Amino acid sequence: MSLHDIAARGLHLLDPEDAHGLTIAGLEAGLGPRVRSQPDPILATSLAGLALPGPIGLAAGFDKNAQAPDAMLAAGFGFVECGTVTPLPQAGNPRPRLFRLTPDRAVINRMGFNNQGLEAFAGRLARRPRTGVVGANIGANKDSADRIGDYVIGLTRLWGLADYFTVNISSPNTPGLRALQTRDALEELLGRLAEARRPLAGPAPVFLKVAPDLEDGEVETILSVSAAHGLSGIIVSNTTIARPASLSSPQASETGGLSGAPLMTPSTQVLARFHAANSLGLVLIGAGGIASGADAYAKIRAGAAAVQLYSALVYEGPGLATRIARDLAARLRADGFASISAAVGAA
């Protein structure tokens, strides 16, 4: 275990949100880990045309304001997603709003898209060197009169500054947001985004991030509407509003989205549903509960071309990305796969 991982565990003595703020400040100051070795070539892959040194990505939520994407790339992540960012700054929900469920290796959050707003986010992306793949996760302000318009504003303002975009309609912490996953609302949202993209110069993949709490038929609807409007893929999945009976932490009853280890199995099951129904060639990214090479490999075998994690960093520290990458490479070779793409959907 590295000194950075030990320091991360020491932060558990602090309030979770205060600890996270200190982490971001430390990364901005250059105190994060740096991987000196070259990535294992077996892990190199392509994600909707983006060349990645490895398939282990950092999920949105860790770096809401694009303060430390390069520090996390240096820590061994193959790609980093910043946000969720909204057009206007917003404070989010009242504190406390972030809870560690340590016995369950889980987290509950009800942050509510707290962020510094689009202009601060765009300014930081504009100042960074364009090395490594960095995406922008865009959302809508809670009090917006035109939530779909907020996504259009985010996409157009950040076009050319981010390597890809994620349309976040699946956070449970903005009232009514998940209603955008229904067919009519999704048709309007993705239609307006497609119209906004037409005059913009250059390609950039656009992904849709969905909830794991989907009803029968919603998987097929999301896939067909996404493909019809030119999206590149789906991120499966965001946090869950479910509370498994296995949870033992006293914080388990807190309102918000549950992430971490308890989400691994249900989110992978939903991912497999998307893979089985995906006859339209959309790329799938697996998220939810990943804390090991075995978890990442399970997502890939279930149909994910790449994966994302965040909550496990709370318990495992910033060295987790390199440990997962090393284990994943060994598993691919042990099973006779020459690349990530060869293992996608193998289960």
* Burial tier of 246 (Cβ tally within 10 Å: 0-12, 13-18, 19+): exposed
Which helix (H) or strand (E) segment holds residue 208: the answer is: strand 206-210
Question: Looking up tokens 């549903």, which residue turns up?
Answer: 273
**Residues 280, 287, 204: CA angle, nearest 5 degrees:** 55
The dihedrals phi and psi of 57, each to the nearest 5 degrees, come to: -110, 160
The SS3 assignment for 226 reads helix
Please, which contacts does 175-181 make with residues 24 or more away whose CB atoms are closer than 8 Å? 175/142, 177/139, 177/140, 177/147, 178/211, 180/147, 180/148, 181/210, 181/211, 181/214, 181/218, 181/222
Give the Cα separation of 287 and 304 in Å (integer): 9
**3-state secondary structure at position 42:** helix
Per the CB < 8 A criterion, the answer to whether 194 and 150 are in contact is: no
Give bridge partners of residue 210 from the DSSP assignment: 236
Give yes or no for a contact between 104 and 247, defined as CB atoms under 8 angstroms apart.
Answer: yes
- Main-chain dihedrals φ then ψ at residue 178, nearest 5 degrees: -70, -15
Instruction: Please state, in angstroms and rounded to a whole number, the distance separating the CA atoms of residues 259 and 173.
Output: 13
Catalytic residue numbers, as ranges: 171
Q: Do the beta carbons of residue 317 and residue 1 sit within 8 Å?
A: yes
Q: Quote the tokens at residue 115.
A: 């962020």
Judged on CB neighbours under 10 Å (0-12, 13-18, 19+), 55 is buried
User: Distance of alpha carbon 135 from its chain centroid, rounded?
Assistant: 9
Return the residue matching tokens 């996404």: 226
Cβ atoms of 270 and 234 within 8 Å: the answer is: no
